[in-house]
Structure 1
Amino acid sequence: MKIKQVSAVLNPPAPHMVGDGFRVHNFFPNGYKLKMSPFFLLDYNAEIEFSARMKPRGVGVHPHRGFETVTIAYKGAVAHHDSAGNSGVIYPGDVQWMTAARGILHKEYHEEEFSKTGGLFQMVQLWVNLPAKDKMSNPKYQGIKKDEIPKVTLAAGAGEVDIIAGNFDQVKGIVSTFTPIELYNTRLNKGGKAIFNFPSHFNTAFIVIAGEVRLNESSLVKTNQLAHFKNEGEVIEVEALSDSLVLMLSGEPINEPIAQYGPFLMNRPEEIQQAIADYNEGKFGYLEE
């Protein structure tokens, strides 16, 4: 098998606030123009300390249609509610996989107790596009607790892989996806090495959540940096230069046109107009601010 070479190691773009509770670096599509379908957006809330506050910070009621949001918590805690009556809290190590599909109203904010004490906060949110045939399917949630995520212990004490989606070392991830996606949290001990295989045509990127790694014996990637890979070759070797945590995402491209406006991700401009009309007519349901 051929090595999948790194095409770029990217520093986090300048941060911006989403609501008043999320200070994010948008790696794509705005920060960098990366080929990453089916992943449309990657917002990375690098580690930051929020002060204590009685009224939780967050993002008020907003709609989604045509895609999935994936929230991965590393530090801090986020509460959420939606117009279908779902609610919950995402703690460190947990994952929330929300399929907005035909439409949902959503709000998310710092969990009440975390807000009262303040502390370190670190999260990733991905937008995962849906193929045209699934964009108007029913909304659903996959709320996954840390202890439910399948794990593979690497040889020679190198570390551990949490398989959120896809397959690694014949262990299947917990999340069901509409298109082929590999999504792992990989913890490597200093000096640990591991080999990963992704199909050559899959769009692939790694973001270093903590630590420092060397890829394919050449590319150095530090905390908060993102490594983007070429669409050739399959094999990636990872070596940890310190205790490290790496979020790995790889997926089969959805080769369909994209029309995007705010929180709507469709295929054609007229579908965006329909989404706006449906939202204005209350067809996404009701959710109290």
Structure 2
Amino acid sequence: MKKLLHLKKEQQELMPLFNGAFIENKPIPFPNRNGSSAYSNLFYWAHLEALETSEFPLHPHEGFEIMTFVFKGSIEHYDTATKVWTPLGLGGVQVIQAGSGVQHAEKITKGTQLFQIWFDPDFSKSMIKDACYRDYQVNEFTSEKENAVERLIYLKDRGVISYDTPNISIEKLKFVSGKYQETLEENYTYSYYLLGGEVTVDNELMTKDDFLVLNSSKEVSITAKSTSELFVIKSLTNIEYPRFIDKY
């Protein structure tokens, strides 16, 4: 295993929003004058917890493919493409293909926890497309058991989500207490976020909200010390198209 990054929650960028209504911890924050921690085709990754109900006002996006995963609670979103407020509940996923440009707003209810992850789908292609929204409700996803691991596949060749960013897959793994082996593919980077529980990935101990990035390994050994949920993104290590982040 080649470990690229291991961040505890307190090592991630922590940001309160709207007078503390929301709190975000960001494994991959936005670029700043000190540079960027973006890699592969991942540009931004935030975990948000809503301590109060509040709203992100109307704001623009373009080019990126933005995915929101709701783990607790619910959200509503409005955009200038559909011009309606659309609810998304527990377990749902929203995909924004921002294309040539769109504006949207989000209402997030108290108690909600979610990811928002921005992918770079190749701006030379995405910027000439119209913006597109799609919501996927929890009943559109199914879990399967494989080697005693419960796998919820969000995005893969056989997944239900339609997406533009090439060479990515996204799944949530649920482990009961025990030891497991996971096979990794060469030339791919694996990004792990522990949603709950406690695991070791080879010799790396992960507790809730830890973020681990690794590659250059054919398999990893995972030991779950308790029932644990691990969110995993597999993405190509070397991106052939010019990335937006390379402009910084």
> Is contact 1:80–1:109 with CA below 8 Å preserved after alignment?
yes
Q: TM-score, normalised by structure 1?
A: 0.74
Contact between 1:35 and 1:203, CA under 8 Å: does it hold in 2? no
TM-superposed deviation, 1:160: 0.9
Most deviating of 76-85 and 11-20? 11-20
Give me the whole-angstrom Cα distance separating, in 2, the residues matched to 1:194 and 1:233: 12
Q: Which of 47, 54, 59 is 1:57 aligned to?
A: 54
Closer, same or farther: CA 70–256 of 1 in aligned 2, 3 Å: same
C-alpha contact (below 8 Å) 2:120/2:243 kept by paired residues:
no
Residue in 1 that maps onto 2:155? 165
Helix, strand or coil for the counterpart of 1:213?
Answer: strand
Counterpart check, 1:123 vs 2:123:
no
Aligned residues between the structures: 238
- Structure with max Cα Rg: 1
Residues 1:147 and 1:64: Cα distance change in structure 2 (over 3 Å): same
Q: 1:220 to 1:248 in 2, by over 3 A?
A: same
Q: 1:174 aligns with which of 156, 160, 164?
A: 160
Q: Please tell me the root mean square deviation across aligned C-alpha atoms, in Å.
A: 2.5
- Aligned residues of 1:211 and 1:241 also touching (Cα < 8 A): yes
Native 8 Å contact 2:120 2:244 kept in 1: no
**In 2: Cα distance, 1:5 partner to 1:34 partner:** 17
> Which string of whole-angstrom CA distances, capped at 9 and with x for unpartnered residues, describes residues 215-263 of structure 1?
13x1111101101113x23323322111111110111243344446xxx
1:145 aligned residue (137, 140, 149): 137
Give the whole-Å Cα distance in 1 for the aligned partners of 2:63 and 2:69: 20
CA distance in 1, matches of 2:85, 2:168: 25
Structure 1 residues 258, 159: closer, same or farther in 2, change over 3 A?
closer
1:15 Cα deviation (Å)?
A: 1.5
What TM-score do you get using the length of structure 2 for normalisation?
Answer: 0.85
CA distance in 1: counterparts of 2:40 and 2:5, whole angstroms = 17
What are structure 1's unaligned runs of at least 5 residues? 261-266, 270-289
- For 1:59-79, what per-residue CA distance to the aligned partner results, in whole angstroms no more than 9, with x for missing partners? 100000011110011112111
Matches within 5 A, 1:1-289: 4-12=1-9, 13-19=12-18, 21-30=21-30, 33-34=36-37, 36-45=39-48, 50-51=51-52, 56-85=53-82, 87-110=85-108, 115=109, 118=110, 120-131=111-122, 132-155=124-147, 158-167=148-157, 172-178=158-164, 179-191=166-178, 193-197=180-184, 199-216=185-202, 218-230=203-215, 232-252=216-236, 253-259=238-244
* 8 Å contact from structure 1 (residues 100, 139) kept in 2: yes
Write 1 or 2 for the structure with the bigger share of strand.
2
Distance in 2 (alpha carbons) for counterparts of 1:83 and 1:66: 15
CA gap 1:233/1:173 in 2 versus in 1, 3 angstroms: same
Q: Distance in 2 between matches of 1:14 and 1:181?
A: 24
Secondary structure of the structure 2 residue equivalent to 1:136: coil
SS at match of 1:133: helix
